[in-house]
Structure 1
């Protein structure tokens, strides 16, 4: 025993710390996926707008 605390208490504290790190990494990965999905959706939207503009230009000529 170190400082009057049993060894399993240190293991529990370590696992809590490790769990926090893993949760933080998971949040970062999720945020990155959401940003990529939003960017892809925005790109699709911009392509549709451009196609509509081209279609309108062809109609007016």
Structure 2
């Protein structure tokens, strides 16, 4: 769970992200954020740059 905790902290530290829900089984995240500022692709790159999280993906941004 260490990776998920780190990812959650990185995502929720972003000003435009209100919340993040992570699923360790599928290595995916659903984020509540401003869609005009963030995209799943941009957030996925940020997540994958966090430690040993190359296999994680942000699939959905809700607003």
TM-score (norm 2): 0.24
Q: Which structure's residues are more often strand, by fraction?
A: 2
Q: Which structure's residues are more often helix, by fraction?
A: 1
Larger radius of gyration: 1
TM-score (norm 1): 0.25
